[in-house]
Amino acid sequence: MNIKFGASLLSWITPVWTPEAGKYAIEKTAQSGFDLIEILLPPSMEVNSREVKKQLKTHDLGVVCSLNLPKDAHIAFYPKVAEELIKKAIDKTAELETDLLGGVLHGGIGAFSGNPLTETEAEIIVDVWSTVADYAKEKGVNIAIEPINRYESYVCNTAQNVLELISKTEKDSLFVHLDTFHMNIEERNFYDPIIFAGKKLKHLHMTESHRGMLGEGTVCWDELFRALKEIDFEGNLVLENFSSSIPGMQQMVSLWQKSPYEAEELAKRSLDFMRKSL
């Protein structure tokens, strides 16, 4: 297996990007022993690529990017808006000289129609994905799409949902990005979705059922790691757990219970857990 261990920006700061917060997150990720940081891009794309690349080089740290579509860029409702935003994220990913853009790229988080996904909506999504996949390929970027739980989206809740739509595009630059928090809600187990995704799985958010310390919740890690070994996983395992010790985090991600761990201990011990499990 060729695996890189990463930490999400959200392991250190709230989703609100500022140059100071980004610099801090890069420093903490490197100091904690990770291989890379996942930068959750703001819809404004106001990330100074030149400065960030300098900081990454200083700390010998890799980078990948992600984007979560907002409600006003819900593909099924606003396809052109979504297409342009994803293209801007692809541009920013290329500027940062990395080859992966992950995230919730099937619909706006919190956007609902009140009904299951329709065939017409699926066609719209496939059209947009096809267009941005071609654009991404020209830039040397792969796109990995993250299914999320039913309370945040009605579009793609499972690995199968994403893979079925990808297959309709017939594009080879589209992949799957799974998240164990959402899998714990939507999938029947942690083994089958990974086997089903196979080489289409490029990126995995590692987070416990309660968003806390890995191994202290209900995620069946043994199943997950067994599946990763069976597919000979090549990609990123990125920690995305949250600590209420970070100012503003409780409000931003609905983390209403106080965390028993500070962010740094949560990150370091979770990284140890991942390495030992492999």
Q: Residues 177-233: pLDDT tens digits?
A: 999 999 999 999 999 999 999 999 999 999 999 999 999 999 999 999 999 999 999
How many domains is the chain partitioned into structurally? 1
Residue 14: per-residue pLDDT? 84
Indicate whether 244 pLDDT > 90: no
Query: Residue for token digits 């995230």?
Result: 103
For residue 261, pLDDT over 90 is answered with no
pLDDT at 137: 98
Q: Express each pLDDT in 145-179 by its tens digit.
A: 999 999 999 999 999 999 999 999 999 999 999 99
Alpha carbon of residue 15 to chain centroid = 13
Q: Which domain holds residue 98?
A: 2-277
Task: List the beta bridge partners of residue 235.
Answer: 3
| CATH label of the domain that carries residue 263 | 3.20.20.150
Pure H helices in the chain? 19-31, 49-58, 79-95, 119-139, 159-169, 180-186, 192-197, 221-230, 249-253, 263-277
pTM for the full model? 0.96
pLDDT band at 246 (very low <50, low <70, confident <90, very high): confident
What per-residue confidence (pLDDT) applies to 1? 80
Strand partners, 64: 38
Question: What does the block give as tokens for 67?
Answer: 């984007």
